[in-house]
Structure formats: structure tokens, C-alpha cells
Amino acid sequence: MDARLAKGAETRRATLRRAVEVASVEGLEGLTIGRLAAELDLSKSTIFAHFGSKEELQLAAVAFAADIFVETVVESAMKAEPGLPRLTKLIDNWLAHSRDRVFPGGCFFAAAAAEFDARAGRVHDAVEQSFDSWMGLLSQLAAAAVERGHLAADTDTCQLAFEIDALCRAANAVAVLTGDDEPYARARVGIQTRLRNSGGQ
């Protein structure tokens, strides 16, 4: 029983790993149970047993991508000194996450948001929830920087989070389109300027 459970977990993880790779380039609508079965040399019934429907597969891919994002972007940032150092580390991690193509298509959630922004449904809601969590974390870390005197007391932390996210997304979009890493450097300069204007050193 333990061996079967372990094999099932391994199959699910391998399927989701391939699913997020495909979705980051071709979109979540590009995911089908038949395609993943063929690419992973599995039966359709095996993958269907894990997910049951295309929508459930899409939702699982969003959750799996979120786990990878937390592992590669958030966890090490939270070990940095509270305040501006932690916020800066989070931003650096995000830019590296896109630049290093943890997902082949760049930021998974930027692609998913563009695909589902005008749609209704459970997948849209899951993508929106991930976006809200990201913006909430940026705002939270910015507020901590204000509390420690690293940023000016009158800093609008929600506005700051919005601008940081906008520069990161722009860098991701242009870099993926052009294959050039320069947009990441430009985004970093823009963010550093914004932080200095808010009292950050």
C-alpha cells in the first residue's frame, strides 16, 4: 500500500510539473489529459484518476505553481532581516525566478492572469487569489519597512506594492518576448529609485 501511494504521489507530481511547464508557454487551456498522458507515457485513465477533469487539472496546476513560487521566491526572502532588506530580497527573488525560467514561459501567474483575467469561474478565482496573496505580501513587507523607519511614515504601501508588481511584470513580459535580460535590470533600477523616493536606502 505504501509503495502504491508513493508511486501515485510521484506520478501526480510528474504530471503537474509537466502541466505547469506547458501552461506557462501555451496557457492553461493548452492542458489536456490526453496530451499529458502521451508526453509522460501514461494512460489517460491514470491521469484521469488523479484529476477527474480538465478544470481540476488546471486548478491543481495553479496550486502546484504556487507551491513552486513560494519555494523559489518567498521562503528565502522571509529569512532576510525584517523591513527593507526582506522586501528587497523578495523582489530580487521574483526577478531571478522569471529570468532563470523556473517556468519556461517566465512567470506562470503573469501568463495565467493574462489568459483568465476576463473570464469567470473557478480557475479565474484561483489565479486571482494567488495574485491577491502576492500583492498582500508585498504590502505587508512594505508596511514592516515603514514600521522600522526604512521607508517614510507616509508611504502608501498598497501603491508601492502595485508599482513594484507592475515593473516586475513588465520586465517579465518584455524579457520573454525578446529573449533579452536587460528588462530585469531596468525593472530593478526603477524599483530602487521608487524605494529611495520613499525613504529607502
CA distance 180 to 193: 22
91, 171 contact by CB (below 8 A): no
Does the pLDDT at position 175 exceed 90?
yes
Query: Can you tell me the mean pLDDT for 129-149?
Result: 97
Residue 123 domain boundaries: 54-197
Determine, yes or no, domain membership for 173.
yes
Determine, yes or no, domain membership for 18.
no
Determine, yes or no, domain membership for 163.
yes
CATH number of the domain enclosing 142:
1.10.357.10
**Closest C-alpha to 13, from 56, 65, 79, 74:** 65
For the beta carbon of residue 190, count every other beta carbon within 10 angstroms: 17
Q: Global pTM?
A: 0.89
pLDDT of residue 50: 87
Determine, yes or no, domain membership for 43.
no
Cα-trace Rg, the chain: 19
CA distance 102 to 96: 9
pLDDT of residue 30: 87
170, 185 contact by CB (below 8 A): no
* Length, in residues, of the chain: 201
DSSP state letter for 121: S
Determine, yes or no, domain membership for 58.
yes
pLDDT tens-place string over residues 67-126: 999 999 999 999 999 999 999 999 999 999 999 999 999 999 999 999 999 999 999 999
Determine, yes or no, domain membership for 193.
yes
pLDDT of residue 199: 77
Determine, yes or no, domain membership for 121.
yes
CA distance 99 to 107: 9
Determine, yes or no, domain membership for 111.
yes
**Closest C-alpha to 102, from 72, 123, 80:** 72
The total domain count for the chain is 1
Ranges 16-25, 36-45, 158-167: which has the least confidence? 36-45
Query: Can you tell me the mean pLDDT for 45-70?
Result: 92
Residues 6+ apart with CB under 8 A from 108: 20, 23, 24, 65, 68, 69
Query: Can you tell me the mean pLDDT for 11-34?
Result: 91
Dihedral (CA of 50, 54, 59, 60) sign? positive
